[in-house]
Amino acid sequence: MPAMAEDLRFEEANTYFSEEKYEEAINTYEEILSSNVESAEIYYNLGNAYYKTGQLPKAILNFERALLLSPHDKDIRHNLEMVNTQITDKLETVGKFFLAEWFNNFKSITKSDTWAIISIITFGLFVFLIGVFFFSGQRVVKQISFFVGILLFFASFFAFNFSGAQKNKLVHRDSAIIFDPSVSIKSSPSTGGKDLFILHEGTKVKILENLREWKRIQISDGNEGWVHSSSIEMI
C-alpha cells in the first residue's frame, strides 16, 4: 500500500478482524478501497470479513477481485473455492480442450507485472546470445547460443503476451457476481422476456453484451440470457 495513512488503516482493520469485530473491519477495509487504494491483501481480508458475517456474495466478490490482482495466491483460491461450495447454484462447467485449459492456467500462475519482467529479462538474454553468435569464433558456442537464443526469444514473446492478457483482465473486467437472492434470467433484455432459468446470489457470470441497463450473460455450463444490471456486481 502506497501511503502511511493507508498502512495505519489497514493495520487497524486487521486488528478489528483479529478481535472478531467484523463489521468494524469491513467498514475500515471499504474506507481504504473508497480512497482508490487497492491490493490483493485488502480484498482478501475483506472477503474473509464478509464471510464471517455470512455475506457470501460479497465474500465471493472480494475473493474474485483479490484473485485478479494475485492469481497465483493459493490462500485466495482456496477460500474462494470453499465459499463457492456454500452457494445454491452448483453448475457444471463446459469442457475445454485440455491444451487450452492448461495454457490458460499457466498464463494465470502470476500477475501481469511479473510476466512483463520475465519478458524483458528473456529478451535481454536473447539479444546477448545473438551477439555471442555473431562474434564468437567457436562453432559449438555459436550453435548453443543460436538455439538457446531462439528459445529465449519465444519465451520473451509468450511472456509479453501473457502480461498483456493479464493486464487486459484487470482493465476490461467481464465477469460479475449475482447479488439478488434469486433472479430470473430472461430471453431478451426486458422484464417481459421469457424466463429461461433462475440464478441465486453468489453465482459468477460472464458478461457478453451490454444493452442499456441489461447485460447478456453466460454461466459456466454454457447457458446464456439477459439479467438486469441491478442484480449483479462487476468483479
Residue 112: pLDDT band with limits 50, 70, 90 = confident
Q: Which of 84, 116, 137 is the last residue of a domain?
A: 84
Q: Which of 122, 145, 171 is the last residue of a domain?
A: 171
73 vs 36: CA distance, rounded Å:
22
Q: What is the pLDDT of residue 4?
A: 47
Residue 103: pLDDT band with limits 50, 70, 90 = low
Q: In 10 A of CB 19, how many CB atoms?
A: 10
The rounded mean pLDDT for the chain is: 90
Residue-wise pLDDT for 175-216, tens only, equals 999 999 999 999 999 999 999 999 999 999 999 999 989 999
Who has greater pLDDT, 85 or 71?
85
Q: Which of 59, 84, 109 is the last residue of a domain?
A: 84
Output Rg (C-alpha) for the chain, integer angstroms.
Answer: 23
Q: Does 17 score more than 90 pLDDT? A: yes
Range of the domain at 141: 98-171
Average of pLDDT values for 62-76? 92
Task: Judge whether 46 and 26 are in contact, CB under 8 Å.
Answer: yes
49 vs 68: CA distance, rounded Å:
19
> pTM (2 decimals)?
0.77
Task: Judge whether 178 and 57 are in contact, CB under 8 Å.
Answer: yes
Tell me, yes or no, whether 57 and 10 share the same domain: yes
Tell me, yes or no, whether 115 and 154 share the same domain: yes
Count of domains forming the chain: 3
Residue-wise pLDDT for 154-167, tens only, equals 999 998 988 888 77
Say what percent of the chain tops pLDDT 70: 92
Residue-wise pLDDT for 32-55, tens only, equals 999 888 899 999 999 999 999 999
Residue type, 166: Q
Tell me, yes or no, whether 75 and 112 share the same domain: no
177 vs 203: CA distance, rounded Å:
6
Q: Does 22 score more than 90 pLDDT? A: yes
Q: What is the pLDDT of residue 182?
A: 95
Q: In 10 A of CB 171, how many CB atoms?
A: 7
125 vs 153: CA distance, rounded Å:
9
Relative to beta strand 204-211, strand 182-186 is unpaired
Who has greater pLDDT, 12 or 2?
12
User: Phi/psi at 106 (nearest 5 deg)?
Assistant: -65, -40
Tell me, yes or no, whether 164 and 102 share the same domain: yes
Let me know if residue 199 belongs to a domain: yes
